[in-house]
Structure 1
Amino acid sequence: MDRTVADPLIGRLLDGRYRIGPRIARGGMATVYEAVDLRLDRPCAVKVMHAGLGDDDDFAARFVREARSAARLSHPNVVSVFDQGDDDGTLFLAMEYIPGHTLRDVIRAEAPMKPARALSLIEPVLSALGAAHAAGLIHRDVKPENVLIADDGRVKVADFGLARAVSAETQHTATGGVLIGTVSYLAPELVVDGRSDARSDVYAAGVLLYELLTGRKPHEGDSPIQVAYKHVHEDVPPPSAAVPGIPPYVDALVARATARDPQLRPADARVLMHQVRRVRDAIAHGVADDPELTADLTPTRTVASDAYDDIDYVNEDTPTILSTAQAAEVGTPDSREHDTSVIPATPRTPPGPAGPGAASPRGGATAVRPPAPRRSRRGPVLLLVVLLLAVGAGVGGWWFGAGRYTTVPGVIKMDAAQARAALDQKGLGYEAGPPAYSETVEKGLVLDTDPAGGERILDDGTVTVTLSLGPERYEVPVLRGLTEDKAGAALEKQHLSLGDTVRRFDEKVAEGVVLRSAPQAGSEQKPGTAVDLVVSRGPKPIEVPDFTGRDAARAEQRLSALGLEVSTNDAFSETVADGDVITQSPSSGTLYRGDAVTLTISKGPELVEVPDLRAVGIQAATERLEALGFTVKTAESAAYLGLGFVSSADPDFGTMAPKGSTITLYLV
């Protein structure tokens, strides 16, 4: 039995506005239907939560809050949320309808794929996640099924906020609740304690990239628990192990994004997108190996502090502690620092009678005193000179050292006038240096000084002051009407980068010319911000159908509906019925909106009056009718006498007959 037909929601009108159509997809939490917004007369997709989830008032309130958060997220790579509602316990979201397929379909059809192709698919996903992370919104369920690819190639990420509403309801932890999300893409921290942040989305995006590169998931098992265990206890293997030839820096990129320790991953999707662009650039330039890029992307493992307990090392920054024996061997501080010479003691003499050189009663040696020297006046003079020299040297040293210097006052975040006044008070000069941008110091305030505040400077020195220009922002230029190359050059001039390009048909703008940009022209953006473009593909080509021999009114209506300019003219035709198309110019090929098509419409055969030929000889009558385009046939009248003159005709004389038709002459 067809489940779509049996689905009770199909055909139902939700909230008096959304007519539910065919089912598009079904997941663990909700079912998605194609629908029509009757109020705005537009197609949309309606995601209906499974029965039971809306019974809890707390969950319903959370669902509404998260839907509102997702609705505020406006980005070209995010599926727009139009509305949310509760129709008698049926919770639903009304979203942008994206005709096309999912990234899962692409993986099945193309994976394993070349790194350049894989990165081109993951970058718009990261762009969407990056916008969400900047807005404080975490996806929590990044997987191929939530990445939609429109028929025109646009990549859109769906289901922002839905996982958060459900996870708050179920308390998804490894020990007490239900794990929300596809286990193959769950970050280890979600499995262990249920906590998630932007880095959890980064992990899932890294797994997604691995799957694009290899065509398989990094961790597989017989049950979801086994897969979750591997996410916690095993690193994601390098893609090159499954597909040889992948550059080492691509392996490093996957390793960085899927590091089990969240601190080793990029802080959010914007950081990972920057790294992806570096890798794409290396691939675009044909770089087979870039050790510097590989080293930069490879996650550096941290070592716990207890891992150093058994390490014994001494370096110049580490004090060395000496043992008692070592200290004794080296000597005491007094003996090494204060002794300038060692005076040997006089040897003891054996006991004997007192006298010169005899031992003293205390057992010491009796020194022989030399004669007292004669006092000299040179000593005090020399001492005075030495003291004067020492004082002079001290004063000179102070003057040439610290005496001539003062301390630079702190003037950071003062305006120029305040900074100048503070420097004047110290007797210092003010010199304006080149201004610089700052994300933290307001425009016009002091950002930096040289020398810095607190450093020493000569009393009459000059301090170079750098004023802040405020945050570095550049205005998005007007790109509409420029070619794609010129738009890229204009963005580069404004220190911005060219983002994604979407191409659409436009009847008025030539191919390759920019239709619009996002962010819009005139907005202020950080340097390096990617600006996405919508570029014209030119007028949409129209395949011309051939209406020759068909009803002219219908042909004119159909051709006008295609946007073509239709002109008509009439002509007689003996073979084409009245009101049908005799000829069409052009009758085939490709035209564009506004091009001309000419239809020649049949008036049917031309009508000619049958002349009065009574009493005219058969030969003369025949010649005259044939000259008018008729075919002549003769027959004997009821009063035939064999004279050979015309008595009557069918059609009768004076009537209008189609040119080329047969006239029967009756003879008398």
Structure 2
Amino acid sequence: MSTESRVLAGRYRVGELIGRGGMAKVYRGQDLTLGREVAIKILDPELAKDTAFRTRFRLEAQAASRMSHPSIVRVYDAGDPSNTDSSSDDPPYIVMELISGTLLKDIIASGPVPVEDAVRYTDGILEALDYSHRAGVVHRDIKPGNVMVTDKGQVKVMDFGIARAVSDSSSTVAETTQIIGTAAYFSPEQAKGEPVDARADLYSTGVVLYELLTGRQPFRGESPVAVAYQHVSETPLPPTEVNEDAPGALDPVVLRALAKDPYQRYPDAAHFRAALDSAASGHAPSRKELGALTSELYGPSPRQAQETARSLRQLSTDTTMARTQSGPPVAWIWAGVALLAVLLASVLFWVWTISMRPPEVPTTSRVVPNLVNVSSERAQSDLSDLDLTTKLVVETSTDITEGNVIRTDPEAGETVSEGDTVTLYVSSGVETSTVPQLEGMSLTDAKKALTAAGLELGTVIQRNDKSIAADTVISASEQEADEVAPGTVVNLVVASGKVTLTDLAGWTLAAATTNLESLGLTATPVESADCPATDPPTVVSMSVAPGDVPIGSPVELRYCTGE
């Protein structure tokens, strides 16, 4: 039997081919039970050979089916023929809302889009991500090929949950990019194979916005590894340097979204949307302001230097890597020359100062030596040789190694008398705070624990979980018992106390009741004699609108009993 005449699960008739991607083919289909047109995505047989992948794919697709939002392509159902028929070789499939429109990648193919459209498309993506992230679902593969613009201009994001199933089955960057199709929209943490959260989606959205404004991605190379290398280590050019017609006010928004460090990006999709809307009607930053932002986001730091060094060791073995950015600016070279000149002038001044010192110093006078960053033992010995006594005072320091001298009182170069006391301020190392236990605590108690530890509460992300009480901390951005700098911002994920209710109209009463109970909701069947009965009974309406509802909420399921 041909693919086009196949009926899946005895319910979904597969029709003509309407789309093709790296992971699957999409067919127009018919839901024979509900009598509606649908889109059916059938996974590539080669990709579906892994049994573990099939299981992950089915679970992720089912999780995506619980989301109901105007900017997200609805997933109605997901199935795996091998679960019901062990002899079946058919790959898994998902049944989705059938959308009439144009893929965003086809819109971009002709070049930069008008600014108003670029902002509108990006805002639609962020609206979908804001909803999905609050529901605890990270997309992981935001790109123009997964965004549809309907004939009415509405943005629809597709393939929620699929990227996670793919990435969990892939061990390397090269393997993952081969499956998903491109590394051009990867976040640096995805390129390095590290765990990702919602901020990876915001980075990918920043890449899409960059491409909408300029007609090209910020990083391009001859291979996925070459592009991944640039995501990790290269500084992107502001969109206005690629397309002079792009609005300068959006440069800071794009650069912030493309920050290498997830903590320097927008904390969530809502903040990204707010910045986008504000910049769309705002003024362009000056070259100095833009330079300061670039330095802040992409300037070297010890943490970034370590990560970049590790990433370069991982990626530099690929001979296909190609740079798309220019070398160091000429301004850096002149800055180096100026620094050398200042150092030379300082040395000459020091020599001149020595030459002007009086040749005779009274035998009872002593000059305090420069003991900064010298070990306290050696400093005490040197002062003892000068017949000076010492006093030790311990202080914390972020710059001086533990046990070394931070400063002296009197300061170096001052004259003192024999037998005087010199106070040595000795470093006890960097002051740190210990991250307290936060998981399982109420949000109020977690705030108190952070304050008591000298830490700051950052972004609080709500996540739906039927098994956890509202305002209970699920996870934190810092690990318990880790030593961090005082004042470190700790972001929390807390239970919303809600679950996402989908539209159950058209479901059988039994299936709808089971679905509500699995969400921790109370199903209350209500007979309606105003419409003819069906066998089996079918839900015609609910007392609660689809969306996020409190756990334990009662939901009336109205079904027909008339003649």
Smaller-chain TM-score bracket: 0.5 to 0.7
Q: What TM-score results when the alignment is normalised by the length of structure 2?
A: 0.52
Supply the AA of the counterpart residue of 1:72.
Answer: R
* Correspondence for 2:63 among 69, 90, 97: 69
Q: Do residues 29 (structure 1) and 53 (structure 2) align? A: no
Please give the secondary structure, in 2, of the residue aligned with 1:16.
coil
Please give the secondary structure, in 2, of the residue aligned with 1:226.
helix
User: How much does 1:306 deviate?
Assistant: 9.5
Larger radius of gyration: 1
Please give the secondary structure, in 1, of the residue aligned with 2:142.
coil
**Closer/same/farther in 2, CA of residues 307 and 331 from structure 1, 3 Å limit:** farther
Please give the secondary structure, in 2, of the residue aligned with 1:137.
coil
**Closer/same/farther in 2, CA of residues 169 and 288 from structure 1, 3 Å limit:** closer
Supply the AA of the counterpart residue of 1:154.
Answer: Q
CA contact (8 A) 1:186 1:228 kept: yes
Equivalent runs, 1:78-477 vs 2, <5 Å: 78-87=72-81, 88=88, 89-109=90-110, 111-173=111-173, 180-282=180-282, 287-289=283-285, 299-301=296-298, 303-305=300-302, 320-321=407-408, 329=416
**Closer/same/farther in 2, CA of residues 326 and 179 from structure 1, 3 Å limit:** farther
CA contact (8 A) 2:183 2:224 kept: yes
**Closer/same/farther in 2, CA of residues 177 and 257 from structure 1, 3 Å limit:** closer
Q: Do residues 47 (structure 1) and 41 (structure 2) align? A: yes
Partner Cα distance (2:73, 2:231) in 1: 29
Supply the AA of the counterpart residue of 2:33.
Answer: R
Supply the AA of the counterpart residue of 1:68.
Answer: Q
**Closer/same/farther in 2, CA of residues 179 and 191 from structure 1, 3 Å limit:** farther
Supply the AA of the counterpart residue of 1:52.
Answer: E
Supply the AA of the counterpart residue of 2:116.
Answer: A
The unaligned stretches of length 5 or more in structure 2 are 82-87, 306-342, 344-369, 373-394, 398-405, 424-443, 446-459, 463-469, 472-543, 551-563
User: How much does 1:300 deviate?
Assistant: 3.7
Partner Cα distance (1:162, 1:66) in 2: 6
**Closer/same/farther in 2, CA of residues 320 and 46 from structure 1, 3 Å limit:** same
The unaligned stretches of length 5 or more in structure 1 are 1-6, 337-412, 415-437, 444-518, 526-668
User: How much does 1:204 deviate?
Assistant: 1.0
CA contact (8 A) 2:64 2:160 kept: yes
Partner Cα distance (2:107, 2:259) in 1: 26
Partner Cα distance (1:272, 1:242) in 2: 22
The structure with the greater share of residues assigned to helix is: 2
1:312-371 deviation per Cα after TM superposition (whole angstroms, max 9, x unaligned): 999x998522589857626756799xxxxxxxxxxxxxxxxxxxxxxxxxxxxxxxxxxx
User: How much does 1:8 deviate?
Assistant: 3.3
CA contact (8 A) 1:172 1:178 kept: no
- The structure showing larger relative contact order (alpha-carbon pairs under 8 Å, at least 6 residues apart) is 2
Residue of structure 2 in register with 1:20 after alignment: 14
Partner Cα distance (2:264, 2:230) in 1: 18
User: How much does 1:44 deviate?
Assistant: 0.6
* Percentage of identical aligned residues: 37
Please give the secondary structure, in 2, of the residue aligned with 1:321.
strand
Partner Cα distance (1:160, 1:101) in 2: 18
Please give the secondary structure, in 1, of the residue aligned with 2:5.
coil
Partner Cα distance (2:39, 2:286) in 1: 45
CA contact (8 A) 1:75 1:131 kept: yes
Supply the AA of the counterpart residue of 2:14.
Answer: I
User: How much does 1:15 deviate?
Assistant: 1.0
1:143-181 deviation per Cα after TM superposition (whole angstroms, max 9, x unaligned): 111101111221100000001111112234469996645
User: How much does 1:296 deviate?
Assistant: 9.9
Partner Cα distance (2:171, 2:300) in 1: 32
Supply the AA of the counterpart residue of 2:235.
Answer: D
CA contact (8 A) 2:214 2:246 kept: no
Partner Cα distance (2:175, 2:115) in 1: 38
Partner Cα distance (2:227, 2:150) in 1: 31
CA contact (8 A) 1:118 1:212 kept: yes
Supply the AA of the counterpart residue of 1:217.
Answer: Q
Partner Cα distance (1:313, 1:38) in 2: 85
* Runs of 4+ off more than 4 Å: 174-179, 288-299, 305-308, 311-314, 316-319, 322-328, 330-336, 519-525
Partner Cα distance (2:42, 2:78) in 1: 10
CA contact (8 A) 1:17 1:39 kept: yes
Supply the AA of the counterpart residue of 1:150.
Answer: T
Partner Cα distance (2:461, 2:99) in 1: 39
Please give the secondary structure, in 2, of the residue aligned with 1:90.
coil
CA contact (8 A) 1:264 1:301 kept: no
Equivalent runs, 1:554-573 vs 2, <5 Å: none
Q: What TM-score results when the alignment is normalised by the length of structure 1?
A: 0.45
Please give the secondary structure, in 1, of the residue aligned with 2:80.
strand
CA contact (8 A) 2:27 2:40 kept: yes
Supply the AA of the counterpart residue of 2:61.
Answer: A
Partner Cα distance (1:221, 1:439) in 2: 36
User: How much does 1:132 deviate?
Assistant: 1.4
Partner Cα distance (1:521, 1:193) in 2: 36
Supply the AA of the counterpart residue of 2:102.
Answer: H
User: How much does 1:247 deviate?
Assistant: 3.6
Equivalent runs, 1:506-585 vs 2, <5 Å: none
CA contact (8 A) 1:71 1:82 kept: yes
CA contact (8 A) 1:18 1:35 kept: yes
CA contact (8 A) 1:170 1:177 kept: no
User: How much does 1:14 deviate?
Assistant: 1.0
1:592-635 deviation per Cα after TM superposition (whole angstroms, max 9, x unaligned): xxxxxxxxxxxxxxxxxxxxxxxxxxxxxxxxxxxxxxxxxxxx
1:624-657 deviation per Cα after TM superposition (whole angstroms, max 9, x unaligned): xxxxxxxxxxxxxxxxxxxxxxxxxxxxxxxxxx
Partner Cα distance (2:130, 2:157) in 1: 11
1:498-547 deviation per Cα after TM superposition (whole angstroms, max 9, x unaligned): xxxxxxxxxxxxxxxxxxxxx9799999xxxxxxxxxxxxxxxxxxxxxx
**Closer/same/farther in 2, CA of residues 293 and 34 from structure 1, 3 Å limit:** farther
Please give the secondary structure, in 1, of the residue aligned with 2:112.
coil
Partner Cα distance (1:101, 1:244) in 2: 27
Equivalent runs, 1:626-645 vs 2, <5 Å: none
Partner Cα distance (1:290, 1:313) in 2: 44
Please give the secondary structure, in 1, of the residue aligned with 2:4.
coil
Please give the secondary structure, in 2, of the residue aligned with 1:142.
coil
**Closer/same/farther in 2, CA of residues 313 and 301 from structure 1, 3 Å limit:** farther
CA contact (8 A) 2:103 2:145 kept: yes
* Correspondence for 2:51 among 51, 57, 60: 57
Supply the AA of the counterpart residue of 2:260.
Answer: R
Number of aligned positions between the proteins: 338
CA contact (8 A) 2:118 2:213 kept: yes
Residue of structure 1 in register with 2:466 after alignment: none
1:4-39 deviation per Cα after TM superposition (whole angstroms, max 9, x unaligned): xxx931121111111111111111111111111011
Partner Cα distance (1:301, 1:172) in 2: 26
CA contact (8 A) 2:235 2:298 kept: no
Supply the AA of the counterpart residue of 2:141.
Answer: D
**Closer/same/farther in 2, CA of residues 203 and 143 from structure 1, 3 Å limit:** same
